[in-house]
Amino acid sequence: MLTIGCDSALVTGSSRGIGRGICLKLADCGLKRIGVHYFKNKAAAEDTAVRLSDRGAQPLLLQADVTKPDEIVRMFGEIKKSFGGLDIFVSNARPDVEHFYQPVMQIPLKNWHAALDSQATAMLIAVREAVKLMPDGGRIIAITYAPGGRTGTWEPWVAMGSAKAAMESLCRYFAVALAKRRITVNSVSPGATDDSVFNTLPPEVLEMLRKWASSGWVPMGRLTTPADVGNVVALLCSEEAGFVTGQTLHVDGGASLAGTDLPMELQAAG
């Protein structure tokens, strides 16, 4: 069992999917006080809270629109009032796909801003608020999607891909700025994940992804799960990972290792 020598965390966007998986893993590792942030889906957040309570944790429901700086500040004020401090902050919230999913030549500026404001700008503000509550040795983690910062063929992902890339860059700057306080700052990049943003797309898209994963493009043969992401977040929050900072960890079953210059039939041969 990993050693997580603290007891409070805030995970944004944790009413379901990846954020919920992170909360549940942290509770399994012994964290007692966990902030469950949501924007609109209070019922899902309450379900996450019940699951945390069943694991012995004390959940705190927090509603906020992370595209609005004053609401981020208010949310951390509620954390301070209820928890007194904060040991772990995980930046995971994102807008629904209809607010950012447009190709590069057609995307309205409001969709572009929805992505950037909810990711890089929200993280900039949130981390500066979080560290006011953190003891030395705290943990900050951003959930990103690294391929979006390297590739360009998934055109409707342009705003979110750019926003996630900005988050990863921001993590490196924060890692240096906070190193003397032993606060580590890292990003986790999941592969295509079941029970995530992909589930909001047409069902045939998710089925296509499952076939793609099992055909060899994911060497381990399946999609990422929220539990996989939660496991790596817990690892980065452990005392054993106290010297790891400014890094991006891929949780994708090896998908980021698959080359695109050869057919999979050749890559998987032998």
Global pTM value: 0.94
User: Containing domain of residue 53, as a range?
Assistant: 8-192+226-254
Do β-strands 184-190 and 88-91 pair in parallel, antiparallel, or remain unpaired?
unpaired
Which has more pLDDT, 150 or 137?
137
Work out how many domains the chain is built from and give that number.
Answer: 1
From the list 192, 228, 229, 189, the residue with the least C-alpha distance to 207 is 192
Is 160 within the bounds of a domain?
yes
Mean pLDDT to the nearest integer, 242-256: 96
Q: In this structure, how many other beta carbons lie within 10 angstroms of the beta carbon of residue 201?
A: 13
Is 206 within the bounds of a domain?
no
Token code pair at residue 155 = 């055109």
Q: Quick: pLDDT tens for 173-198.
A: 999 999 999 999 999 999 988 876 66
Lowest-pLDDT range of 96-100, 125-129, 214-218, 252-256: 96-100
Q: Quick: pLDDT tens for 53-90.
A: 999 999 999 999 999 999 999 999 999 999 999 999 99
Residue 11: which H helix or E strand, with range? Answer: strand 8-11
Assess contact for 123 and 91: CB atoms under 8 A. Answer: yes
DSSP for 144-190?
--GGGGT--SSGGGHHHHHHHHHHHHHHHHHHHHTGGGT-EEEEEEE
Is 210 within the bounds of a domain?
no
Is 203 within the bounds of a domain?
no
Assess contact for 223 and 210: CB atoms under 8 A. Answer: yes
Q: What is the pLDDT of residue 270?
A: 45
Is 167 within the bounds of a domain?
yes
Distance CA 173, CA 128 (A): 12
Distance CA 150, CA 156 (A): 15
Which has more pLDDT, 3 or 18?
18
**CATH number of the structural domain spanning residue 79:** 3.40.50.720
Distance CA 66, CA 76 (A): 11
Q: What is the pLDDT of residue 96?
A: 84
First-to-last alpha carbon distance for the chain, in angstroms, is 37
Q: What is the pLDDT of residue 258?
A: 87
From the list 102, 73, 63, the residue with the least C-alpha distance to 110 is 102
pLDDT range class, residue 200, cuts 50, 70, 90: low
From the list 152, 183, 179, the residue with the least C-alpha distance to 165 is 152
Is 110 within the bounds of a domain?
yes
Is 250 within the bounds of a domain?
yes
Is 1 within the bounds of a domain?
no
Q: State the Cα angle at 124 between 242 and 171, rounded to 5°.
A: 35
